[in-house]
Structure 1
Amino acid sequence: MSTLTTTFGIPVGDNQNSLTAGPRGPVLMQDFHLIEKLAHFNRERIPERVVHAKGAGAYGVFRVTRDVSAWTKAAFLNRIGKETEVFLRFSTVGGEKGSADAERDPRGFALKFYTEEGNYDLVGNNTPVFFVRDPMKFPDFIHTQKRDPLTNLKSPTMVWDFFSLSPETLHQLTILFSDRGTPRGYRHMDGFGSHTFSWINEQGERFWIKYHFKTNQGIQNFTGDQAVQMAGVDPDHATRDLFGSIMDGEFPSWRVYVQIMPEAEADAYGFDPFDLTKVWRHKDYPLIEIGHLELNRNPENFFAEVEQAAFSPANVVPGIGFSPDKMLQGRLFAYADAHRYRLGGNYGLLPVNRPHAAPVHSYQRDGAMRFDGNGGGTPNYQPNSFGGPVDDGRFAEPALAIHGDAARYNHRIGNDDHTQAGDLFRLMDDDARERLMDNIAGSLGQAPVAIQRRQLGHFEKADPAYAAGVAKRLTVEPVAVAAE
């Protein structure tokens, strides 16, 4: 049996009793073991994520099933059958660390590929769209999903006031209040990259793409009542289900697809293909299967590997890039900045975050919690005369043509925020529509009547039956004109 030590390897002679002046105390400051235990305990909880605070994760493998070299030169995609280690973190978005897995909420679907060219983070959700299209509105939106600063309670008034004044939310809120807002578990839902990204091939040609992950377990959702019941019976049901299934050898898996748009076609498409509140029509850009994703290994320590896992869409590899998607552009900064605040400037050195299949050669030095060799005595600047790493123009992206004057453009002018939400409503069968409208009325009915009327105006523009069904449940006439 090993001897207990302090963090610094000093053997501990007594871990049961504090060092005191006599049997009744007081405690002496020289009890360094007590001080270390208390000080560490006070710091065991790092700040929780502002969003995606409650989550679960697992390791697995991504396997290529189609030749995609015509569209991208990414090395981890360059051969059918090639496998890459991954880590996938699922989460609820708005809930706090102790919230229930069954809450009505989007689900995070954040995937880290440990490729031979460095880590590639694909940070998505279980929905193909989002509530807002401009990052300026993201903090405002999230504030409405959190707690009222007056009461410290969740507030339907805040939620629906924002929704009704922001018509671009209509598509995503229609998904949120459908059965898809309460998935039965992480294994039984699809995932999406959501944003538009770019693939670049060896010839320097750019293609716009969207990622889709289709569950092989089949989609399963709770009804609203079932979700409420599960939240009371087992608030950690999705976390338990994921861990248990992998432990039992029932490895969850997804088929991986992309939609591909040639770069030149973006300008002529019927709407902005970089708008995060919109989906690309599958008849225009059909799904192309490219791979298979399987989760087959649970973390050995939840805190070290799930709680400290950090993803950023800024982490891309050669052959994969960004797009003019405004929300994506905002996230390129915001995610890494959040990690530096929450975990420290050296969060990339943590085992779950550092590359597993690629070397790291950088000039980053120092900072709190630098626990490797800190570059030793090698130069910490570039250019230098001592053989330090250098940039390589082979990995530069081709130029992206941009145009327009620098200004603050009203993102709502000229945008159709109602058609795709109406299309989704009409795709649902009668029972699904009824549940959607029941769920909306249950929440919207807690907001002031003036906000109810304003929101009904948006439903009316999406589909008159949508507005009429919700209005009937609210006993409010759908006469409002939506705010633009």
Structure 2
Amino acid sequence: MSKRVLTTESGAPVADNQNSATAGVGGPLLLQDQHLLEKLARFNRERIPERVVHARGSGAYGYFEVTDDVTDYTYADFLNSVGKRTEVFLRFSTVADNLGGADAVRDPRGFALKFYTEEGNYDLVGNNTPVFFIKDPLKFPDFIHSQKRDPFTGKQEPENVWDFWAHAPEATHQITWLMGDRGIPASYRHMNGYGSHTYQWTNEQGEAFFVKYHFKTNQGVRSLSAEQGAELAGKDANSHQTDLLQAIERGVNPSWTVHVQLMPAADAADYRFNPFDLTKVWPHKDYPLQRVGRLVLDRNPENVFAEVEQAAFSPNNFVPGIGPSPDKMLQGRLFAYADAHRYRLGVNHTQLAVNAPKAVADGANNYGRDGVMAANAYARSRKNYEPNSFDGPVETGRPLAAPLAVNGHTGTHEAPAHTKDDDFFQAGELYRLMSEDEKGRLVANIAGGLSQVSRDDIVEKNLAHFHAADADYGKRVEDAVRALRED
């Protein structure tokens, strides 16, 4: 059986892939060696800019299956009947570290899910925690700068981390999550996922509901202690990638049970705290979990770069029956995510296989054209403007979701105050749910970082947040920090 012929990028056969062309035996290289120049130039361009956040990631394909009727709440087509399956791609990631970072570190995990629905792609971009550190996107670059490597020292600095948190009391709830027992998942399979943000569902009657998504792992929640995480990261920096890959290859397909919390839109204005505040959860006693379906991962990517690194998720990729809420962090991400991919991958990144919608055979039906790496060329008979008289794609006239009411004057406003808005109460509630052993590990994890901060005023500001959340919480952290600083 004859072997395939090695070719250049232009398809020409390669005569010699072992020796560069030279001016005589042992002479200098020749500029005319097209194969050498092309090979080196392409090698120089193998890497694209990594994500500023969520750089280190793993992913897999699978399906979402509806198990419970939710048609009273949304007319989304992929949710319209029990038993219906939709292909998905799920990307897990750490947040703060770079592409070469270790998996088993204390960091939130991204949980980004792409549904390839019959009405277009729906992207649900969340984390493995139901809350976040900040509530306004204007602070996101500052927050990430404080968590990433310091420009001078080239490493993450506790001084920067805790200084930012000292000035962000709303971060106390997420800090309590992150420094607690679930801060280092044992694997991607053994953690929950959350939409985190508040979204909107709209039913056929035009009634609107605000919704939060919960993905409960069917493998059970398993986490690592700080010592176990450090040991595993040292042994195998790719531990979570290895686990996910091997589990699916063995046919041990990870799955999650998908639930939602649903709030009638009319409840939001008078709810006791701002329901669109990303630093808070909705208590289950107010809005119980309602099962929707199950998520199963059953196929590994063939090429990590092409499918995991080039996977592009944007929370503004909605489908009919689902839309945004007034959540300010979500509103900021509606722009920022898509713009990040236009920078990293180019304006035509939605034509890549992992990102292309499966709802239409030849890609998205729109009038965008050209740009770098344009794959879908316009046929001679297709008109490149709208409206037109030549049967081009047309608008539906039907909004994807119910409109959001707005009022008042433009300006830089703080979020409206609700009767029970507070930056510390839910952090205290979470602390009081913990066992004594869990509290001890939480305090040790916080004190380990905070004790390394050199300035007393930064330490005191952070201690005040823990005292405000719970008196015992604050005292134990203060005592632990003092003991470590005195050593």
Percent identity, aligned pairs only, is 60
Between the aligned partners of 2:483 and 2:382, the Cα distance in structure 1 is: 71
Give the direction of change, closer, same or farther, for the CA distance of 1:450–1:398 in structure 2 (3 Å limit). Answer: closer
Between the aligned partners of 1:283 and 1:34, the Cα distance in structure 2 is: 67
Quote the offset at 1:271 in angstroms: 0.5
Quote the offset at 1:154 in angstroms: 1.0
The amino acid that maps onto 2:223 is: N
1:366–1:374 Cα contact (<8 Å) kept: no
5+ long unaligned stretches in structure 1? 478-484
1:367 aligns with 2:374: no
Match of 2:426 in 1: 420
Written as runs of structure 1 = structure 2, the 5 A alignment for 1:119-138 is 119-138=121-140
The amino acid that maps onto 1:218 is: G
Quote the offset at 1:394 in angstroms: 2.8
Match of 1:287 in 2: 289
Secondary structure class of the residue paired with 1:267:
helix
Between the aligned partners of 1:412 and 1:287, the Cα distance in structure 2 is: 27
Between the aligned partners of 2:379 and 2:417, the Cα distance in structure 1 is: 51
Match of 1:45 in 2: 47
* Aligned counterpart for 1:441 among listed residues 447, 456, 476: 447
Quote the offset at 1:99 in angstroms: 0.5
What do residues 330-373 of structure 1 show as CA deviations (whole Å, max 9, x unaligned)? 00000000000000110000000001233421101000011233
Between the aligned partners of 1:411 and 1:165, the Cα distance in structure 2 is: 17
2:190–2:219 Cα contact (<8 Å) kept: yes
1:81 aligns with 2:88: no
Give the direction of change, closer, same or farther, for the CA distance of 1:315–1:135 in structure 2 (3 Å limit). Answer: same
Between the aligned partners of 1:307 and 1:266, the Cα distance in structure 2 is: 38
1:117–1:318 Cα contact (<8 Å) kept: yes
5+ long unaligned stretches in structure 2? none
The amino acid that maps onto 1:423 is: E
Match of 1:481 in 2: none
Quote the offset at 1:7 in angstroms: 1.7
Between the aligned partners of 1:377 and 1:472, the Cα distance in structure 2 is: 75
Quote the offset at 1:25 in angstroms: 2.5
Secondary structure class of the residue paired with 2:92:
strand
* Corresponding pairs, count: 477
Give the direction of change, closer, same or farther, for the CA distance of 1:396–1:283 in structure 2 (3 Å limit). Answer: closer
Quote the offset at 1:410 in angstroms: 3.3
1:104–1:181 Cα contact (<8 Å) kept: yes
Secondary structure class of the residue paired with 2:182:
helix
What do residues 406-459 of structure 1 show as CA deviations (whole Å, max 9, x unaligned)? 111235977410000000000111100100000000011111222111100000
Match of 1:317 in 2: 319
Between the aligned partners of 2:25 and 2:74, the Cα distance in structure 1 is: 72
* Aligned counterpart for 2:205 among listed residues 203, 206, 216: 203
Match of 1:405 in 2: 409
* Aligned counterpart for 1:389 among listed residues 389, 393, 399: 393
Quote the offset at 1:26 in angstroms: 1.5
Between the aligned partners of 2:380 and 2:440, the Cα distance in structure 1 is: 65
Give the direction of change, closer, same or farther, for the CA distance of 1:141–1:376 in structure 2 (3 Å limit). Answer: farther
The amino acid that maps onto 1:178 is: G
RMSD over aligned CA atoms reads 1.4
Match of 2:462 in 1: 455
Between the aligned partners of 1:277 and 1:163, the Cα distance in structure 2 is: 13
The amino acid that maps onto 1:455 is: N
Q: TM-score, normalization: structure 1? A: 0.97
Between the aligned partners of 2:441 and 2:73, the Cα distance in structure 1 is: 41
Secondary structure class of the residue paired with 1:179:
coil
Quote the offset at 1:375 in angstroms: 4.9
1:115–1:358 Cα contact (<8 Å) kept: no
Quote the offset at 1:397 in angstroms: 3.5
Give the direction of change, closer, same or farther, for the CA distance of 1:462–1:426 in structure 2 (3 Å limit). Answer: same
1:473 aligns with 2:480: yes
Match of 1:162 in 2: 164
Between the aligned partners of 2:167 and 2:125, the Cα distance in structure 1 is: 28
1:94–1:142 Cα contact (<8 Å) kept: yes
Secondary structure class of the residue paired with 1:139:
helix
2:135–2:278 Cα contact (<8 Å) kept: yes
Match of 1:482 in 2: none
Between the aligned partners of 1:40 and 1:107, the Cα distance in structure 2 is: 33
The amino acid that maps onto 2:122 is: Y
Between the aligned partners of 2:151 and 2:309, the Cα distance in structure 1 is: 27
Between the aligned partners of 1:473 and 1:395, the Cα distance in structure 2 is: 55
Quote the offset at 1:475 in angstroms: 1.3
* Aligned counterpart for 2:343 among listed residues 341, 344, 347: 341
1:120–1:316 Cα contact (<8 Å) kept: yes
Between the aligned partners of 2:375 and 2:5, the Cα distance in structure 1 is: 24
1:112 aligns with 2:118: no
Between the aligned partners of 2:220 and 2:26, the Cα distance in structure 1 is: 63
1:142 aligns with 2:144: yes
1:134–1:411 Cα contact (<8 Å) kept: no
